[in-house]
Structure 1
Amino acid sequence: MTVAAIEPGERGATRIADRVVAKIAARAAREALRGGVPEDGAAPSATVTVHRGGGRSSARIRISLELDHPCDIGGQCGAVRRQVTRRVEELAGMHVPEVSVQVERLHSARARAAAQGRTR
């Protein structure tokens, strides 16, 4: 008995849950910040809206994070956008047309030192 080859588009589909894409994005944001996440701050979080269409799915992503201050806020946000886009495209196979980065809080190294009894 011979089995006819099944075209790739007719074999089925893999669907990645939105919460999985959000976890990938949050992890990628942490990777981009390497050491830039404040000790007393929350880890980056992500919300994702996935659009599934005829071909490749796309994900619009919002990252919320906290940063140490002073820092290059624009540079940090740009690094997060690039890393999140790269990792979601790489791991989930989704097109990422938009990554919105929201800085929730800035943590002052000076205020943290003063709270611990160390002032400069």
Structure 2
Amino acid sequence: MAALTPSPSGVRRREPGARGRLRIADRVYARIAARAARDALADAWRGRAERGGPPKVSVSTPGSTVLVHVAVDLPFPADFAALARAVRDRVTAQVRGLTGTRVSEVVVVVEKLVPRGAG
């Protein structure tokens, strides 16, 4: 049983860790990850008339960590490894920074390459 401590007003309150827990919905993680992926690729798309589609994100939360799967379109030509690394790093940082949840893995899949002048 959690210890009760008196507050300045005299009301007894539970210790912070015993008050309950925060459950973040998977769709919240997905929205944060999608925004982070878009932001990570913004410079790569800058100055191009054609753009790729929005990132497609799915997440799973095994235990106290989150696993993120991001499918993106990339401009061609480009350094795909650097762009994928930027997406992975940005998604990890944003999810961790905004939710405090450890990101166990970010899988980046390139769905489509968009050549300059396409569309």
> How big is the shift at 1:108?
0.9
Match of residue 10, structure 1, among 15, 18, 31: 18
C-alpha offsets along residues 6-34 of structure 1, whole Å, 9 cap, x if unaligned?
Answer: 21111122111001101100100011111
Shift of 1:84: 0.2
Task: Using the TM superposition, give the Cα deviation of residue 44 of structure 1 relative to its aligned residue in structure 2, in angstroms.
Answer: 0.9
Normalising to structure 1: TM-score of the pair? 0.82
How far apart are 1:95 and its partner, in Å?
A: 0.3
Percent of aligned pairs sharing the same letter: 42
Deviations 1:35-68 (A, max 9, x none): 434734211121000123xxxx210000000011
The corresponding residue for 2:62 is 51
Task: Give the superposed CA RMSD.
Answer: 1.7
> What is the distance in 1 between the residues matched to 2:40 and 2:94?
11
Deviation at 1:72, TM superposition (A): 0.3
What residue number does 2:3 align with? none
More deviation, 41-50/72-81? 41-50
Give the match for residue 88 of structure 1: 95
State TM-score, norm by structure 2.
0.82
Structure 1 CA distance for aligned equivalents of residues 51 and 39 of structure 2: 18
Unaligned 5+ runs, structure 1: 116-120
- Structure 2, unpaired ranges of 5+: 1-8
